[in-house]
Amino acid sequence: MSLRISADEALKRRFIDEATAKEIKAGKNDRLAKLGSTQRSAPASRSSNAGDVNAETSPQRILFNALCHRLPGRPQWEVKDLIPGRRIRADIFIPPSVIVEMDGYSFHKSLDAFKKDRKRQNLLTANGFLVFRTFAKEVFDEEERRALVEMIATTVEKGLQF
Protein backbone atom coordinates (compact mmCIF):
# COMPACT_ATOMS: atom_id res chain seq x y z
CA MET A 1 0.00 0.00 0.00
CA SER A 2 1.26 3.46 -0.81
CA LEU A 3 0.52 6.35 1.52
CA ARG A 4 1.22 10.07 1.19
CA ILE A 5 2.23 11.81 4.40
CA SER A 6 4.07 15.03 5.11
CA ALA A 7 7.82 15.11 5.56
CA ASP A 8 7.31 16.29 9.16
CA GLU A 9 4.98 13.37 9.93
CA ALA A 10 7.42 10.88 8.36
CA LEU A 11 10.25 12.37 10.41
CA LYS A 12 8.16 12.26 13.57
CA ARG A 13 7.37 8.58 12.97
CA ARG A 14 11.06 7.94 12.25
CA PHE A 15 10.43 6.72 8.71
CA ILE A 16 13.09 9.16 7.47
CA ASP A 17 15.98 11.19 8.86
CA GLU A 18 16.24 15.00 9.05
CA ALA A 19 18.35 15.28 5.92
CA THR A 20 15.75 13.37 3.89
CA ALA A 21 12.94 15.50 5.36
CA LYS A 22 14.76 18.67 4.24
CA GLU A 23 15.24 17.23 0.74
CA ILE A 24 11.56 16.36 0.50
CA LYS A 25 10.47 19.84 1.63
CA ALA A 26 12.82 21.37 -0.93
CA GLY A 27 11.31 19.14 -3.65
CA LYS A 28 14.53 17.21 -4.20
CA ASN A 29 13.26 13.81 -3.03
CA ASP A 30 9.98 11.98 -3.72
CA ARG A 31 10.58 9.25 -1.14
CA LEU A 32 7.32 9.96 0.72
CA ALA A 33 5.28 9.23 -2.39
CA LYS A 34 6.74 5.73 -2.43
CA LEU A 35 6.79 5.17 1.33
CA GLY A 36 4.42 2.43 2.41
CA SER A 37 3.08 1.89 5.89
CA THR A 38 0.96 -0.74 7.58
CA GLN A 39 0.43 1.51 10.60
CA ARG A 40 -2.91 3.20 11.02
CA SER A 41 -2.60 6.91 10.39
CA ALA A 42 -4.63 10.03 9.82
CA PRO A 43 -5.94 10.57 6.29
CA ALA A 44 -3.31 11.96 3.98
CA SER A 45 -3.50 15.65 3.19
CA ARG A 46 -4.02 16.92 -0.33
CA SER A 47 -0.60 18.53 0.02
CA SER A 48 2.74 16.75 0.11
CA ASN A 49 3.86 19.80 2.10
CA ALA A 50 1.08 19.58 4.70
CA GLY A 51 3.59 19.60 7.56
CA ASP A 52 5.24 22.76 6.24
CA VAL A 53 2.90 25.65 7.06
CA ASN A 54 4.99 27.95 4.86
CA ALA A 55 4.38 25.86 1.73
CA GLU A 56 1.94 27.54 -0.66
CA THR A 57 -0.22 24.39 -0.63
CA SER A 58 -0.49 24.08 3.16
CA PRO A 59 -4.01 24.66 4.50
CA GLN A 60 -2.77 27.47 6.76
CA ARG A 61 -1.16 29.30 3.81
CA ILE A 62 -4.24 28.77 1.60
CA LEU A 63 -6.49 30.25 4.30
CA PHE A 64 -4.07 33.11 4.98
CA ASN A 65 -3.97 34.00 1.27
CA ALA A 66 -7.78 33.90 1.06
CA LEU A 67 -8.05 36.18 4.10
CA CYS A 68 -5.44 38.56 2.62
CA HIS A 69 -7.50 38.71 -0.57
CA ARG A 70 -10.71 39.44 1.37
CA LEU A 71 -9.11 41.77 3.96
CA PRO A 72 -6.10 43.34 2.17
CA GLY A 73 -3.25 44.34 4.47
CA ARG A 74 -4.94 43.10 7.64
CA PRO A 75 -4.03 39.43 8.29
CA GLN A 76 -0.64 38.75 9.85
CA TRP A 77 1.27 35.45 9.66
CA GLU A 78 2.21 33.58 12.86
CA VAL A 79 2.26 36.43 15.35
CA LYS A 80 4.03 35.91 18.68
CA ASP A 81 3.77 37.66 22.03
CA LEU A 82 0.12 38.71 21.83
CA ILE A 83 -0.09 38.28 25.59
CA PRO A 84 2.86 39.82 27.46
CA GLY A 85 4.81 37.27 29.44
CA ARG A 86 3.20 34.29 27.66
CA ARG A 87 4.72 32.24 24.85
CA ILE A 88 1.70 32.07 22.60
CA ARG A 89 1.82 32.22 18.81
CA ALA A 90 -1.27 32.80 16.69
CA ASP A 91 -1.36 31.01 13.33
CA ILE A 92 -3.11 34.00 11.74
CA PHE A 93 -3.78 37.27 13.55
CA ILE A 94 -6.11 39.99 12.29
CA PRO A 95 -5.78 43.15 14.41
CA PRO A 96 -7.06 44.22 16.72
CA SER A 97 -8.33 40.99 18.25
CA VAL A 98 -9.13 38.11 15.87
CA ILE A 99 -7.04 34.94 15.84
CA VAL A 100 -7.45 32.07 13.38
CA GLU A 101 -6.04 28.69 14.45
CA MET A 102 -5.43 25.64 12.25
CA ASP A 103 -6.16 22.50 14.25
CA GLY A 104 -4.35 19.58 12.64
CA TYR A 105 -5.06 16.08 13.87
CA SER A 106 -1.38 15.15 14.19
CA PHE A 107 -0.77 18.01 16.64
CA HIS A 108 -4.05 17.80 18.57
CA LYS A 109 -4.80 14.09 18.93
CA SER A 110 -3.51 13.44 22.46
CA LEU A 111 -5.40 14.19 25.66
CA ASP A 112 -2.57 16.45 26.84
CA ALA A 113 -2.65 18.44 23.58
CA PHE A 114 -6.43 18.75 23.88
CA LYS A 115 -6.17 20.04 27.47
CA LYS A 116 -3.37 22.45 26.56
CA ASP A 117 -5.45 23.80 23.66
CA ARG A 118 -8.44 24.46 25.92
CA LYS A 119 -6.31 26.32 28.47
CA ARG A 120 -4.70 28.35 25.67
CA GLN A 121 -8.13 29.15 24.20
CA ASN A 122 -9.41 30.33 27.59
CA LEU A 123 -6.31 32.48 28.16
CA LEU A 124 -6.73 34.13 24.75
CA THR A 125 -10.44 34.75 25.39
CA ALA A 126 -9.74 36.18 28.85
CA ASN A 127 -7.32 38.61 27.21
CA GLY A 128 -9.87 39.90 24.70
CA PHE A 129 -9.17 37.77 21.64
CA LEU A 130 -11.80 36.09 19.50
CA VAL A 131 -10.50 32.76 18.23
CA PHE A 132 -11.73 31.00 15.10
CA ARG A 133 -10.67 27.37 14.82
CA THR A 134 -10.52 25.45 11.56
CA PHE A 135 -9.04 22.30 10.04
CA ALA A 136 -7.50 21.27 6.72
CA LYS A 137 -10.57 19.65 5.15
CA GLU A 138 -12.61 22.83 5.72
CA VAL A 139 -9.89 24.92 4.07
CA PHE A 140 -9.36 22.58 1.11
CA ASP A 141 -13.10 22.55 0.30
CA GLU A 142 -13.58 25.74 -1.74
CA GLU A 143 -17.19 26.32 -0.67
CA GLU A 144 -16.44 25.77 3.02
CA ARG A 145 -13.33 27.97 2.79
CA ARG A 146 -15.34 30.81 1.20
CA ALA A 147 -17.94 30.59 3.97
CA LEU A 148 -15.26 30.56 6.68
CA VAL A 149 -13.39 33.52 5.16
CA GLU A 150 -16.64 35.47 4.83
CA MET A 151 -17.60 34.73 8.47
CA ILE A 152 -14.18 35.85 9.73
CA ALA A 153 -14.10 38.94 7.47
CA THR A 154 -17.61 40.00 8.45
CA THR A 155 -16.68 39.65 12.12
CA VAL A 156 -13.53 41.74 11.63
CA GLU A 157 -15.39 44.40 9.63
CA LYS A 158 -18.13 44.69 12.23
CA GLY A 159 -15.45 45.13 14.86
CA LEU A 160 -17.08 42.50 17.03
CA GLN A 161 -15.26 42.06 20.30
CA PHE A 162 -16.13 39.78 23.13
Q: How would you classify the pairing of strands 76-80 and 130-134?
A: unpaired
Q: Which amino acid is at 145?
A: R
CA distance 15 to 36: 10
Q: What are phi and psi of 74, to 5 degrees?
A: -95, -50
If you compute the radius of gyration of the chain from its CA atoms, what whole number of angstroms results? 17
Confidence (pLDDT) at 92:
97
Beta strands in 11-157 (DSSP E): 76-80, 89-94, 98-102, 130-134
61-96 residue pLDDT tens: 999 999 999 999 999 999 998 998 888 899 999 999
Q: Indicate the pTM of the whole model.
A: 0.65
Cβ-based neighbour number of residue 156 at 10 Å:
20
CA angle 84, 86, 89 (to 5 degrees): 100
Q: Give kind and range of the element (H or E) at residue 64.
A: helix 59-70
Q: What is the pLDDT along the chain (162 residues), one digit of tens a residue?
A: 334 567 776 667 666 777 777 777 777 654 444 433 333 333 333 444 445 666 777 899 999 999 999 999 999 999 998 998 888 899 999 999 999 999 876 665 688 888 888 899 999 999 999 999 999 999 999 999 999 999 999 999 998 554
Going from the N-terminus, what domains does the chain have, and what CATH number goes with each?
1-48 (no CATH), 59-158 (3.40.960.10)
